[in-house]
Amino acid sequence: MSGIKVAPGAAARIGVAADHGGYDLKEYLAGKLRAAGHEVIDFGDGQPKAEDDYPDFIVPLARAVAGGRVIRGVGICGSGVGATVAANKVAGVRACLIHECFSAHQGVEDDNLNMMCLGGLVVGQALAWELVTIFLNARFSGAERHCRRLAKVRELEKTPMIPTT
């Protein structure tokens, strides 16, 4: 299992998606990513609409991450919580709500995160860009204990949920 497949500082294909609560931050980050030389695949929303629903944009991004169409993803909604919940329903996605620097790299290094979620109404542009940069530059350690834990997570994705009632 590997992390992002580009050398540090090299360009990569990055997916972004947001609902109305994350639209402005998505646009800002997409511009910064392009300026840094990355190819950005935008899964929407194309314009902020109060009636849009985060799963409509986050799930296609998560599927692209899981399928390898993009190397990493950045999903944004108002708080980042809904985007995280929706992304993690897609098998093969390891998404986390990131609002501070430690988790932006540690989540990749230990848990091989391939998608980060942000709160567009919670995190400012400068911090968001710092977090995305840290996330993209982090690499999975490949340590045996982390691989063992991730294998258990993959098994969970294969196991059908059995009602307890």
Separation of alpha carbons 29 and 153, rounded Å: 30
Given the residues 77, 96, 101, 117, the one annotated as active site: 77
Find where tokens 């490949």 sit.
Answer: 142
In angstroms, the Cα distances linking 84 to 20, 54, 144, 162 are 16, 10, 26, 23
Separation of alpha carbons 77 and 9, rounded Å: 27
Question: In sequence order, which residues have a C-beta less than 8 Å from that of residue 50 and are 6 or more positions away?
Answer: 20
Cross-strand pairs, 72: 14
Phi-psi sector, 44: left (phi>0), alpha (psi -120 to 50), beta: left
Q: Examine the residue annotation and report whether 77 is marked as an active-site residue of this protein.
A: yes
Q: Are 98 and 135 in contact (CB under 8 A)?
A: yes
For the annotated catalytic residues, the residue numbers are 77
